[in-house]
Structure 1
């Protein structure tokens, strides 16, 4: 994951250097927290609920004019779900030795292509929307962090969906800005492999994050 982050950052810096003289480019870092869940059959939805989620990413935006812009980048999003009921473990003799909360952990590298528009006083408010592709990095079921079961074979390697956000950008300096954004991710494709043999229904990703960021305008 660290190598991927440095590679993506290097690509963005190269892009920034190429267009630095135009005055239309912004490059930023962002981080946030929120909730994630999986959508499936009604029976599956009765068994799971939302889990805590985190987000970290880098992005570049290109101003088309004083209102409209395009944005792309890459972000690490922890998706998945939490089981509604706790799981009880037993020793070899069948004696209970602990009750734990079970989580499905699906970290993704998401790459969006978003169109944005600025509005409001001084055009500090903005909205973004567009498609994304997500690449599954790993998959584990954990029990309050005590045990982990590798489940990557049960899931497709890619996810496609749409993303949308509403935020505000505040100037920190002539070239620096600070952003606060509420962003929603809606998966549109089935991420569960039909031939996994685990009896999983079709599953789709959901996530919502409160994200803060800083950017630099070239």
Structure 2
């Protein structure tokens, strides 16, 4: 019991240490699992959710102990399930994987007694890399717009493991504002993505 109490005390002390301040820069790397879909509320609602992944790097520029600007280029595997692909005039059930290079630029608000929690929000631009169905590996990239514009947002917690390194856990969301498809006769179709991420932050300055 004494060892458990000491471990809990050490954990709480770690949460209370190493708040950043004006002029600091953090570099981060993370990976996570994505849950994405497309939707068109005007006509047919949402497609089934697809499970993918993301890999990201970030820079966080601090203006105070509470506010920073975070830039986070991300390789994003998005998509949707429960659709069809047409091959030789026949429709076959399939799922779709759509890969983007997503670049959000977010205001990052740090809160809590030692600023270990953070809430961020801001615009993103997603640049289409590939789009294929999973049954026949059909390339459908030409059917999609090359850029996806939307809003990124998230919340997370950072746990110091040394003076310059922190591990973090976060929820991150994206909501597209631009039509995902070039020629769309059933109303605009928008992307959405939720993810659960884990990563490391390194204090550079």
Instruction: Return the TM-score normalized by structure 1.
Output: 0.76
Distance verdict in 2 for CA 1:41–1:149, change over 3 Å? farther
8 Å Cα contact 2:49/2:81 also seen in 1: yes
Matches for 1:116-195 after TM superposition, within 5 Å: 116-143=108-135, 147-194=136-183
The alignment yields a C-alpha RMSD, in angstroms, of 2.3
How many residues matched? 179
Aligned-residue offset at 1:53: 2.0
Structure 1: runs of 5+ lacking an equivalent: 1-21, 90-99
Within 2, Cα distance between the matches of 1:121 and 1:101? 52
Within 2, Cα distance between the matches of 1:29 and 1:101? 36
SS of residue in 1 equivalent to 2:114: helix
SS of residue in 2 equivalent to 1:150: coil
Aligned-residue offset at 1:141: 1.1
Within 1, Cα distance between the matches of 2:94 and 2:145? 21
Structure 2: runs of 5+ lacking an equivalent: 1-21
8 Å Cα contact 1:187/1:206 also seen in 2: yes
> What whole-Å deviation, never above 9, does each CA across 1:71-96 have from its counterpart, x for those lacking one?
00200111111017x99x9xxxxxxx
Instruction: Return the TM-score normalized by structure 2.
Output: 0.80
Distance verdict in 2 for CA 1:135–1:200, change over 3 Å? farther
SS of residue in 2 equivalent to 1:79: strand
SS of residue in 2 equivalent to 1:35: strand
Given the alignment of the two structures, is residue 25 of structure 1 paired with residue 17 of structure 2, yes or no? no
> What whole-Å deviation, never above 9, does each CA across 1:129-162 have from its counterpart, x for those lacking one?
000000000111112xxx2111011000001000
| Structure with the larger helix share | 1
Runs of 4+ off more than 6 Å? none
